[in-house]
A and B are shown apart, each in its own frame.
Chain A
């Protein structure tokens, strides 16, 4: 199998899995224990905290480990209710762990404004400004979209929120490891991250909490993670996340330009072969290595199965727990028709992707799309 779905998840880096195996075997202690076995586990957790902090130019004290990016998003959004916040603003392309959470919180009295995006899938800062009220407690805009890779103007949004004294949260799960993430200049209040998108393990996330911001816990019952997240730490997972952060930021520029070149190679071939194809998202402001393309009239679900049977793993949109497909919210929000959404495939590449893989993928893709287009035309003639 050739894996071209890095936005869904990434393979574990060998060095990360080696470290995790070692920690599982040797440092099994409870980091809260007083003895030296506990101290060894504590060392792993705190080292990882520093590694994550360094990757985003933050301080270790600003890093809280969670079980996932989704949990980190939930923690921030539930805090709004706990501090009696009344109104939040989110974009229409947020991850389900943001939009479904705020929808659920409506029943507890939260009012929610959802702002749209332009046809590139970018939010407009003035749209957010228009929605801000005295009661606005939080604005949540993702750093980059998971389906199109479009990068959002979060510096501007963060500046606006700072000026108005509003908590600004960004879901940076997709951005980490692909573009530089650094909140020192832009006054983001909180941000969420996930290990498995950066060649780390599944089941570990991080919430960055800018110094000076106070939150309420989501999981009560222990003093772990400054009492913000009770539960004995996932020590091997956390250690793995730490190392993954160190490795991914090592040569981020080189890595980014390499995958971006591979992406552009795909774009050129696909568009020259199928001029009716449309690349979703912003032509420049997008994550390297993420390609969302509409192949008009092609049933993306069928194409995905054909590619999979040929040994190429791509996606029609965001990975969904039941494995079913429904028109993507993000794509609809950008103004795509239902038909175009159902004709969209996402190819996302990463560290291990090479030219040869892309070449053989393109052969398979072009073969199937040509055949499918021919049979469509035949249908029209008949």
Chain B
């Protein structure tokens, strides 16, 4: 088996150290930076406020590769990204659903287009700078585990990938903490050692998705109608400026006053209403999850003690999972969860083993109560 590996390099410190680790392990790396997005201001001039995919990021990745004599190429995946990630994100927001584009990006870009390129270039392996680990399970072969740095674990965004690709995947920094990664980068005197961490979505400067929707989809934004905000009892409390501008659990900028703070509990695009509720009504005992993808098939799960993570950085809740013949998972939480959000991913773990996940269909109310038909989503 050849040792050629494509290393996905964003120009950040994590993927730079991933390169160092695969070199140490005797692989033959090729650095790849994927150009996914061109940040531009509304007048079309290139924006400088986003590091990701910028010339600076690409050149930093090139610099790190050159330091180790590793060839580096920039691949242009802007079209695939726009179609599968950005358009998906925009579409979901306008239907009152809060998507997680990182999931789509991993499925279509890294474990999609980049693996295709690995095949074209006769590379057996693809390495990324995710904080996650590849492990082995007796009856299931290669599996994904959480990274050892609890604060940085990124396995949540990996549930959607094709399990057949796990044996060809390397996560060279999954055994390291962020601090260790920084130390390695500094010792190696990498130009990327002190690049500021970006917490935001790569293509959303200043993490402002509302501004992005206006600029990216002005026609759709213009067509969107104002509507009313109602209480769980159906009483009108105020007005909203279009469903795309709100997310489940949102408390600020609702423009309504009351003795207790209100949170967005439910959005109904067909009626164009937003339902708000006090905090105590924001908890759900269960949720339904569709578009399931298993990295470890349920029959091979090591135990029935499953933890479900319902959003990135969620600490997980013990759950009971029943999968319907239609491929919908009914997830019953040990304790009710705050702001279970349609469109976000429910990701299932057994200890630190990533079992798989799916997209949350509904959560806050049972379907009878809110009249939501699963099939309409």
Contact = CB atoms under 8 A, between A and B. Distances in A.
B60 to A, nearest CB: 13
A337 to B, nearest CB: 16
Interface residues on A, range: 10 to 19
B183 interface: no
Contact of A324 (B35, B62, B120): B35
B296 to A, nearest CB: 29
B117 A324 contact: no
Contact of A323 (B30, B58, B120, B121): B58
Contacts, number: 32
A36 interface: no
A299 B71 contact: no
B71 A302 contact: no
Interface residues on B, range: 10 to 19
Contact of B121 (A305, A322, A325, A326): A305
B231 interface: no
B74 interface: yes
B73 A325 contact: no
B35 A309 contact: no
Contacts of B74: 322-324
B121 A302 contact: yes
A305 B76 contact: no
- Count chain A CB atoms within 10 A of each CB in B55, B71, B76, B121 and give the residue with the most: B76
Contacts of B62: 323
Given A299-B120, A302-B117, A308 B71 contact: yes
B377 interface: no
A365 to B, nearest CB: 16
Interface string A298-329: 01011001101100000000000111111000
B79 to A, nearest CB: 10
Interface string B98-133: 000000000000000000010011000000000000
A175 to B, nearest CB: 29
A301 B75 contact: yes
A321 B62 CA distance: 13
Interface of A: 299, 301-302, 305-306, 308-309, 321-326, 372
Interface of B: 30, 35, 55, 58, 62, 71, 73-76, 117, 120-121
A-B CB proximity, top 9 nearest: A323-B74, A324-B76, A302-B120, A324-B35, A324-B74, A322-B55, A305-B73, A325-B76, A322-B58
26 contacts: A299-B120, A301-B76, A302-B117, A302-B120, A302-B121, A305-B30, A305-B71, A305-B73, A305-B121, A306-B121, A308-B71, A308-B73, A309-B30, A309-B121, A322-B35, A322-B55, A322-B58, A322-B74, A323-B58, A323-B62, A324-B35, A324-B74, A324-B75, A324-B76, A325-B76, A372-B120
